[in-house]
Amino acid sequence: MALSLLCPLLATFLFMQTLADTSFIQSRAAYYPNSEENGTDVGACGFGSFGATVNGGDVSAASDLYRNGVGCGACYQVRCSNSAYCSGNGVTIVITDQGSSANTDFILSQRAFGGMAINKDAAASLLALGVVDIEYRRVSCSYPGKNITVKIHESSNNPHYLAFVLWFQQGSKDITAVQLCETENFVCKLLDRSHGAVWTTTAPPSGPLGLRMLFSDEEGEDESWIVPVNNIPQDWKAEETYDLGVQVN
């Protein structure tokens, strides 16, 4: 009787342990050797200085996970595998750039690379290694007290050309399409993704501008359009930021 009860319990434990192990993907990570402790402000996502300091500077370039810019802004839990140096939780990073080195999926900021360690001495040892084995998984981004925000790209020129990126997107979905809408007659058009996370249009409509954003999971099976509360004002200017008054989870 006792053995018959124990076997199902043992099988359940082994099954749950397998699920826990397979939720992470095995890979390798390096770090920016010539950068500041934070990320870079010239990352391929087009985030600018925001891309160097977002998430406290725990950011990374990615290779396949960049996904032609769709992966920009995605968050991952990354932890290294050497138990002598590495913590169990690792570090949560945000993708802000594209790149690979020595067959890696991630090139972390120095801050994030050291953040995988159990203490400062271990962090120094990790940095000395340069490249380490890691495991990672997609997790939700979190920006407490922040709404999704439009940052007008410096290349914009009102009223001839509009380019922008979206900051502080929470959750674990990707923004896969953006529509720009005239608020007076509600006509909307799809924007182009010029590069990274930069959305653009020539000859944008006059007046306040509304947005519609399509959020999708990585499989493209769960999609929903989100309409922000706030609009981009008629007198929008390059390098300005505008709070859209909405957030996702």
pLDDT for the residue numbered 20: 45
Which part of the chain is CATH 2.40.40.10?
A: 23-136
Q: For residues 240 and 226, give the distance between their C-alpha atoms in angstroms, rounded to a whole number.
A: 22
Which part of the chain is CATH 2.60.40.760?
A: 146-244
Q: What is the mean pLDDT of residues 228-241?
A: 97
If you average pLDDT over every residue of the chain, what do you get?
91
Q: Look at domain 23-136 and name its CATH class.
A: mainly beta
pLDDT in tens, 185-225: 889 999 999 999 999 999 899 899 999 999 999 887 899 99
Q: What is the mean pLDDT of residues 152-165?
A: 97
| Amino acid making up residue 201 | T
Q: Look at domain 146-244 and name its CATH class.
A: mainly beta
Q: Where are the alpha helices (DSSP H) in the chain?
A: 2-22, 50-53, 110-115, 120-129
The DSSP code for 23 is T
pLDDT in tens, 53-105: 999 999 999 999 999 999 999 999 999 999 999 999 999 999 999 998 888 99
pLDDT at 145 over 70: yes
pLDDT band at 21 (very low <50, low <70, confident <90, very high): low
